[in-house]
Amino acid sequence: MKHQGKDLLILLNDVAIANSKSCDINMDCEVIETSSPDDGDTKHFIPGRKSWKVTTSYLVEADGTPIKSHLSVPGKVFTIKVKSRELSDDVMTGHAICTNCKITGTKGNLTQGSFTFQGTGALK
């Protein structure tokens, strides 16, 4: 059975984001260029430091949390859990700083919001 998108959960301080539409988890690793005794026409690298980032989008409820509360989130530090709804032991926890909140209103559509969280420290 394939893992369903709806089963990927992002929890902020153990609370799932309401009306979540989608989420992305990016895990990056820097590289350090080196020289090589083997060849000179291709670059060689060794691994450097890692970093991770989470983005999530959701629908804004008209009678829910005020818009201004959404926009006050950036700058706050959260404990983030990335887990699978189906696999209870597939959980990673880390701390992240909300670096962006974006509210988009379009005529004929529901208001949509998104958060970007910059991970700090390990996600494990």
Partner 1 sequence: MVIKYQIKFVSLPHDGNGELLTVNIYDATATTGTPVQLTGSASPFSTSGSDDSDFYTPIRSQSGYIRFICKDESVISDIMPERATDRPVTLTDASGAVRWAGFLSGEQYSQPWEPTPYSLQLPVKGLLSTMAGVEFTQADGFTSVVSLMSTIAQYLPYTPRIIYPKSMAIDKVLVSNDNFREFLSKEERKDQNTENIYSADSIETVFEEFCKYFGVSAHEYHGDIYLIAHDATEYLCSDGRTVAPVTHDLLGLGIVGASNKKSFSKFYRYVRGEFDTGSDDDKAKTVMELNEFSEYLPVNNQSNEFIFYDAAEPLTCLIPNTGDHYTGRIGNDDYAFPKMLCGIIYRNGSASYYDPSSVIGIIFHGSYPYYNESGAHNVTGQRSSGGADMLQISTPLSANEIKKVFTIKSLQDIKITKSERSLINIQMSLRALGERYSKKPSGSSDDDDEKYAREGKIDNGGVYLSIKVGDLYLTEISTDKYSWSSTESYIMCPVSNGTPIFNYLRTDKDVKTSVFVEDPGILVSLPDSLRNKLVPIEVGLWSGICHPVKWSTKDSGLDIFGNPTLPGVLTDDKGNDFDATFIHLIVTNFKISIAYEGGTQTIGTDLDQNVYIVPNDNASTYKYDVSSTITTRRGIQHGTGLALNDDLSYCATTYDLDGCKRRAAMVAKNREMLTVAVENNTAIAPFDTIAWHGKIYSPLADNIDWHDNENELKLINID
Can you give the binding site for partner 1, defined by CB under 8 A?
32-41, 43, 46, 48-49
| Shortest Å distance, C-beta 42 to partner 1 | 9
Q: Which of 14, 98, 5, 115 lies closest to 60, judged by CA?
A: 115
Instruction: Compare residues 47 and 108 and give the one whose CB is closer to partner 1.
Output: 47
Instruction: Compare residues 36 and 69 and give the one whose CB is closer to partner 1.
Output: 36
Instruction: Compare residues 38 and 89 and give the one whose CB is closer to partner 1.
Output: 38
- Residues 6 or more apart from 53 whose CB is under 8 A from it? 24, 25, 26, 28, 96, 116, 117, 118, 119
| Shortest Å distance, C-beta 44 to partner 1 | 9
Tokens of 49: 């430091």
Tokens of 103: 């509210």
Q: Cβ of 96: how many Cβ atoms within 10 Å?
A: 23
Regarding beta strands 77-84 and 91-104, do their DSSP bridges make them parallel or antiparallel, or are they unpaired? antiparallel
| Shortest Å distance, C-beta 82 to partner 1 | 24
| Shortest Å distance, C-beta 25 to partner 1 | 22
Instruction: Compare residues 46 and 62 and give the one whose CB is closer to partner 1.
Output: 46
